[in-house]
Chain A
Amino acid sequence: MRAQLVSTLLRARPAATRVAPAIARAASSHAHQETFESFTERYVNFFGQAQDLFEVQRGLNNCFAHDLVPAPSVIEAAVRAARRVNDYATAVRVFEGIKEKVENKQQYREYLDELKPVREELGINIKEELYQE
């Protein structure tokens, strides 16, 4: 009888003393947007550390899957990663990917001009140069 009373009293304690403290959480916590700069930095780091062809191509797939055109520094890192894993075709494919992502030919041209030193340093021809009509 006594034990029952005690347990009833225990159960009847005010709830506030038992619950865990409320976790501070914004109403739109899922809407965390990565900035373009941090995106760029993340992928430059990723390609800087990629060790094999699979890793490089996986990174490229992820990187080009976003609704943005990767910055030239990302492209340079990717191309150098392709050089490190000795895959020429992937390096060519990166430029093909840019062509798909940019909005117009002018932007593609600007990317090519921006990356011309890297292309010449590594000896990469873009697909248009390989398959001239």
Chain B
Amino acid sequence: MQALRLARPRALPRPFLARSIAAASPAHATAAAPVAPHLPPEPIIPLSNVEAQWERLSPDEQLAVHQQLEELQKKDWKTLSIDEKKAAYYVAFGPHGPRAPTHKPGDTVKLLLGTLAGIAVAGGVFAWFRSRAPPPPRSLTKEWEEASNELAREQKMNPISGISSEGYKGKGFVTHK
């Protein structure tokens, strides 16, 4: 159907156009809406399937559907079929043009997967960098820090308020738990 549409040149004469559309959806071609008898013959665009076709119709064909529906809605609304009512509603207020939804149905999953993939890649890069990093310096061990404390007390470093003062409760240079 897509290929049919792509192969169809834009400037085809009207009757052929109409026939090609009817042929494109043979199941609905027979359900074409009855047009009021006093009207000139319009291109047959089945109203039963207007929702599916609307985006693909050319502006001319959309205009034809508009006019067809305009005439239909002048009749008593009780005589309209449900398909004609749906077509009238869809063309006026359906989700196309400015009322098209911002996201298509599958978009949420796509966004979620994309975000998770991004986070996973970032985590992978981080882990790879960490795995190739040199080990931490030897002065960052607990033993080294305790030895630093001993040296500081030996040398009476900061005797008034710091590590060598009386009753000192702090940890001094030890940063490890």
Question: Which residues of A line the B interface, CB within 8 A?
Answer: 83, 86-93, 96, 122-125, 127, 130-131
Main secondary structure of the interface of B (DSSP, over half): helix
Taken together as a complex, chains A and B put the C-alpha atoms of A90 and B74 apart, in Å, by 13
Taken together as a complex, chains A and B put the C-alpha atoms of A130 and B50 apart, in Å, by 14
Please determine whether A93 and B92 come into contact, CB atoms closer than 8 angstroms: yes
The one of A83, A89, A96, A127 in contact with B88, judged by C-beta atoms closer than 8 angstroms, is: A89
Question: Which residues of B line the A interface, CB within 8 A?
Answer: 70, 73-74, 76-80, 82, 85-86, 88-89, 91-93
The one of A83, A96, A123, A127 in contact with B80, judged by C-beta atoms closer than 8 angstroms, is: A123
Taken together as a complex, chains A and B put the C-alpha atoms of A123 and B76 apart, in Å, by 8
Please determine whether B89 and A88 come into contact, CB atoms closer than 8 angstroms: yes
| Known contacts A122-B77, A123-B76: A88-B85 contact under CB 8 Å | yes
| Known contacts A89-B88, A89-B89, A89-B92: A125-B73 contact under CB 8 Å | no
Taken together as a complex, chains A and B put the C-alpha atoms of A131 and B86 apart, in Å, by 8
Main secondary structure of the interface of A (DSSP, over half): helix
A99 to chain B, nearest CB (A): 13
B86 to chain A, nearest CB (A): 5
Minimal Cβ-Cβ distance residue in A for B84:
A88
A110 to chain B, nearest CB (A): 23
Please determine whether B92 and A125 come into contact, CB atoms closer than 8 angstroms: no
| Known contacts A86-B70, A130-B82: A123-B77 contact under CB 8 Å | yes
Residues of A within 8 A of B93 (CB): 89, 92-93, 96
Please determine whether A87 and B82 come into contact, CB atoms closer than 8 angstroms: no
A68 to chain B, nearest CB (A): 23
Residues of A within 8 A of B73 (CB): 86-89
Taken together as a complex, chains A and B put the C-alpha atoms of A96 and B89 apart, in Å, by 11
Please determine whether A90 and B77 come into contact, CB atoms closer than 8 angstroms: no
Residues of B within 8 A of A91 (CB): 77
Taken together as a complex, chains A and B put the C-alpha atoms of A66 and B15 apart, in Å, by 49
Residues of B within 8 A of A92 (CB): 85, 89, 93
Listed by A's residue number, 11 A-B pairs whose Cβ atoms lie within 8 Å are A86-B70, A87-B92, A88-B88, A91-B77, A92-B85, A92-B93, A96-B93, A122-B77, A123-B78, A125-B85, A130-B89
Residues of B within 8 A of A89 (CB): 73, 88-89, 91-93
Taken together as a complex, chains A and B put the C-alpha atoms of A89 and B70 apart, in Å, by 10
Taken together as a complex, chains A and B put the C-alpha atoms of A12 and B78 apart, in Å, by 81
Minimal Cβ-Cβ distance residue in B for A129:
B82
Taken together as a complex, chains A and B put the C-alpha atoms of A104 and B76 apart, in Å, by 32
Taken together as a complex, chains A and B put the C-alpha atoms of A83 and B77 apart, in Å, by 9
B21 to chain A, nearest CB (A): 23
